[in-house]
Chains A and B, each alone.
Chain A
C-alpha cells in the first residue's frame, strides 16, 4: 500500500500504533529513553485504518500495531524491539536518529 510505504519510509523511527494501544505506548517510551523521537501514526484515527492494518500484516507484522520501522526498514513488533535492545543491537540501529543533546 502506497500510503504505508510512504509513511514508513519517513526519516528516523516510525511507529504505527493505535490511540488505545498501551503496548505501542511502551515502545514509544523505550525509544524516547534512548534519545530518539519517533514519528507516531495512530492508524485508528485514519479513515483507511483497515487497509493500513492489512498492509502492515502483509509486510510481515504478526500484529498490525505496534509496527516499528527504522530508516524505512521494518523491525517488527514489540517482541523484536525488545530482543534487539537486550542483545545490544537496537542502539547502534537508531544512533543516526538520536536527537542531539545540547
Chain B
C-alpha cells in the first residue's frame, strides 16, 4: 500500500468505521471539519499488525495539521502491536460513536423544534400586523402576549376566526355585487340566509372558545383595536347593530316601523339587564378576592372561591351572543329579503371600516412625524 492510498480510504473500508469519523465531527461542537484528517484515522484500525510504513504515515498525517483528533493518533501507535488493546479501543470507539450519534440526534431535534416555533411566531406577527396591532420590535410588548396561543382551544379559535373574517369579506363582496346588479328574490334569499348562518357560526365558535378561556373571549383580543373599543361582553352591542342599520332603510311600512321601534326598546332593555348582571358579578368577584384578611400573604381560599364564580362569566358570554343572535333573527323577520340583504351589507361594511381604522391607526402610530 503506497502512501497516497492512505489519504483516500476506499468507501468499503470506511463504511463500517464511519462512526469513528463522525465522532471526530461531533466531538468538537459541530465543526464541519470532516476533512482529510478524520478520513485517515480508519486506516490505522484496519491494519492491526505492526507497520513501519504506518508509523511513518502517522507522522506524515499529523504533520498535515488538520483540526482532527491528534490524540487518537498517539494512542493508535501504542495499540498497533496489541490485539486486546485494539479490541478495547474498538469498543470504546463504538461507544463514543454511539454517544455522538445521540448527541447529534438531540441537537437536531432541538433545531427542529426551534424552527417550528420560529415559523409559528412569524405567522402570529403577520396576523397581528394585519389586524392592526402595533407590533413593535420586541422592546414594547403588547398585552396580547403569546401565552394565549399556548391554549390549543384558543389557538384553534384564532385560526378559525381568521378564516371567518376572510369568508365574511367574500360574502360582503358578493352581496355588494348582486345588489348593484339584478338578482331574483330566491337567490337573494339564499345569500341572506348564508350570511345570517355565518354570524351564527361565529357565536358557536365563541361558545367553544369561552369554555377554553373565557377571559380571552371577554377581552376581545381576537378583534382589532377599534372593534375592541366598542366591546360589550365579548362582542358588539346588539343595540349598536340596530343603530348602524336603521338609517339605511328607505321605505318601511307602518308595521315595520312599529316592529323596529319595539325591537330597539326590548333590545336595549335586555342589554341593560345583562349589563347590570355583569356588574353584580364583578362586585361579587371583587368581594371574593378581597375576602378574609388582606396583608397576611395568603390567597388560596380566595382564589379558589373566585374560580367558582368565574364559571358564571361563561354563561354571560353565551347570553350576550344569544342576544346578538336574536337581534339579527328579529331584524330578518321584520325586513323584506332585499332590505335584509342591504342591512347585512351595511353591517359587514361597518365592521370592515372598523378594521381598516385599526390598521390605519397602527400604521400612523408607527410613522415618524
**Residues on A close to B: CB < 8 A?**
20-23, 25-27, 29-30, 33-34, 78-79, 82-83, 85-88, 90-91
The 8 nearest A-B residue pairs measured at CB: A26-B277, A30-B273, A22-B281, A29-B273, A86-B326, A26-B273, A22-B280, A22-B277
Q: Which residues of B contact A (CB under 8 A)?
A: 259, 262-263, 266-267, 269-270, 272-274, 276-278, 280-281, 284, 309, 312, 315-316, 319, 322-323, 326-327, 329-330, 333
Contact B273 A88 (CB under 8 A): no
Q: Which residues of B contact A26 (CB under 8 A)?
A: 273-274, 276-278, 280, 319
**Could you tell me the distance in whole angstroms from the C-beta of A36 to the nearest C-beta in chain B?**
12
Expressed in whole angstroms, the minimum distance between the Cβ of B294 and any Cβ of chain A is 22
B266, A85: Cβ atoms under 8 Å? yes
- A79 and B277 within 8 A (CB): no
Contact between A82 and B280, CB atoms less than 8 A apart:
no
Whether A85 pairs with B312 at a CB distance below 8 angstroms is no
A-B contact pairs, 15 of them (CB 8 A): A22-B277, A22-B278, A22-B316, A23-B315, A25-B276, A25-B280, A26-B319, A34-B269, A78-B322, A82-B319, A83-B322, A85-B266, A85-B270, A87-B330, A88-B259
Known A-B contacts A78-B319, A79-B319; A86 and B274 likewise in contact (beta carbons under 8 Å): no
A32's nearest neighbour on chain B, judged by CB, is B273
**How far, in whole Å, are A87 and B269 apart by their CA atoms in the complex?**
13
Residue of A22, A33, A90 touching B284 (CB-CB under 8 A):
A22
Bound CA span A83–B322, Å: 8
Cβ-defined contact, A86 with B327, below 8 A:
yes
Contact of B272 among A21, A27, A29, A90 (CB under 8 A): A29
A61–B214 Cα distance when bound, in Å, is 24
Check B326–A83 contact: CB distance below 8 A: yes
From B272, B277, B315, B329, A33 is in contact (CB under 8 Å) with B272
CB distance from B315 to the nearest CB of A (A): 6
| A30-B269, A33-B269 known; A25 vs B277 contact (CB < 8 Å) | yes
- Give Cα distance in the complex from A23 to B284, angstroms: 13
For B330, the chain A residues whose CB sits under 8 A away are: 86-87
**Seed contacts A26-B273, A29-B276; 9 additional CB < 8 Å A-B pairs:** A22-B277, A26-B276, A26-B280, A26-B319, A29-B272, A29-B277, A79-B319, A82-B322, A91-B266
**B308: nearest residue on chain A (CB-CB)?**
A20
Known: A26-B274, A33-B273. A21 touches B267 (CB 8 A): no
In angstroms, Cα B254 to Cα A22, docked, is 38
Q: Are A88 and B262 in contact (CB under 8 A)?
A: yes
Across the interface, which residues of B come within 8 angstroms of A27, CB to CB? 273
